[in-house]
Structure 1
Amino acid sequence: HWEMMLEQAERMRALVDDLLALSRLEQDAAPASRELIDVDEILEEAVAEGRMISGGAHEIKITKVAPEGILGDFKDMRSAVTNLVTNAVRYTPKDGKIELSWEVKDDHGILSVKDNGIGIAPEHIPR
């Protein structure tokens, strides 16, 4: 029972962290800076953090990186991608695979974080 309590406490902590991050993003009145972001750097940082959190329980890798960057706020982009990877680690079974990629097609950037976890129910994907 102790292990189950610890897992529940960790889920609650993660939920509170996610809610606080969302609140900060929604309340940030200052306009975001726009700089050319090296997406490979963002992905490498997210993978490193994901591996640290995973403790080796998951295979986390970058499968594709387009050379093009993206205009935006580096900290916001890093936070968003790291959050996706952290959630993938959290909800992917041990020995699961998590793959990150960045590609550009028809002048549109496509960033993906794929895993073989439980997924997100459609009603919880508002945007």
Structure 2
Amino acid sequence: MRERRRLPRPAKLSVEGESDEFVRPMRRSWTCLARRLRAPPLTALRFLTPPSRRRQRCTPGAAMADVSERTLQLSVLVAFASGVLLGWQANRLRRRYLDWRKKRLQDKLAATQKKLDLA
């Protein structure tokens, strides 16, 4: 990271025998530095994206009133069954992979032992 140089702050803005033209650039650079060092405004800490302006299609209470008890039970049952089926298939696939890896490692070990015996 680049190191920042600190400028010495002048005790007086003008010195005897010097004109204001010399003092003004120094004053301008100090105001720029002060702006950079200031804390960010509180609005910068909020989310960058504004809240959605879309109108909600229905209220949560009205949405649940439209669904019957039987339909709800059926959808929960279908979701549970699909989760069980997916988990079962994923476990079968994982077991097949582990068996394949075990067989491959055993074959490699056997080949290595054979090389060691011949050497």
Normalising by the smaller structure, the TM-score range is under 0.3
TM-score (norm: length of structure 2): 0.25
| Structure ranking higher on relative contact order (CA contacts 8 Å, 6+ apart) | 1
Larger Rg: 2
Larger relative helix fraction: 2
Larger relative strand fraction: 1
